[in-house]
Amino acid sequence: MLKYGVDMQLPEGKRPGYYAQFVKALATKVKIEDRDKELLIVNDEADRASVLELMNEYRFDCEEFELLLLPEGAETTPLFDDYGFVSVSDNAYLYGHLCAVFKFVPSGTDAEPTQALEQMEEHLLARFAAEDSSRYAVDKALGELMHGIARAYRCKLEFVYGG
């Protein structure tokens, strides 16, 4: 689920072959999992470090950040576009620094998670199935609000990312 993105800004005034040299060097040193325009997406810290090293070597300005790859079949809401994107490979990603992901955890027999979820609906960015339960993505700043709604319906939440 966790990936790393490096958004590169190509320098102006370079020879046409300069970018081609960079792409060749990149292909020999790093496994790029996905991309979206100038955003390179890699799986782990080692590949992220290699990309940054090449960016520095070729004097490309860049910005790095964590990305959350949503599983195939994830349902996104109209708010998704403000917090993520769909890559050229048709994968959906959320920007990690903007989002939090939670799940409901078992609570008392009087808990009403369905009603809690109805109240949370207008804030959701995405929902998806995970190995043990459904997961819900929201704006990172809304963690306390989600906990408050859950408490009102006698439910408990656990943030599995960014909470």
Q: Is 141:82 a contact under the CB 8 Å cutoff?
A: no
Residue 107 lies in a domain: yes
Answer whether 0.75 is exceeded by the pTM: yes
Q: Are residues 64 and 18 in the same domain?
A: yes
Q: Are residues 65 and 103 in the same domain?
A: no
Please give the radius of gyration of the chain, using alpha carbons only, rounded to the nearest integer.
19
pLDDT of residue 23: 83
Residue 117 lies in a domain: yes
Residue 80 lies in a domain: no
Residue 74 lies in a domain: no
DSSP β-bridge partners for residue 128: 135
- The last residue of a domain, from among 50, 69, 88: 69
Residue 153 lies in a domain: yes
Q: Considering its fold, how many domains does the chain have in total?
A: 2
Per-residue pLDDT tens digits for 3-61: 999 998 877 777 778 888 888 888 889 999 999 988 999 999 999 999 999 999 988 89
Tokens of 13: 């005034």
Q: Are residues 103 and 45 in the same domain?
A: no
- Domain of 51 in residue numbering reads as 2-69
Dihedrals phi, psi of 9, to nearest 5 degrees: -110, 115
Separation between Cα atoms, residue 88 and residue 85, nearest integer Å:
10
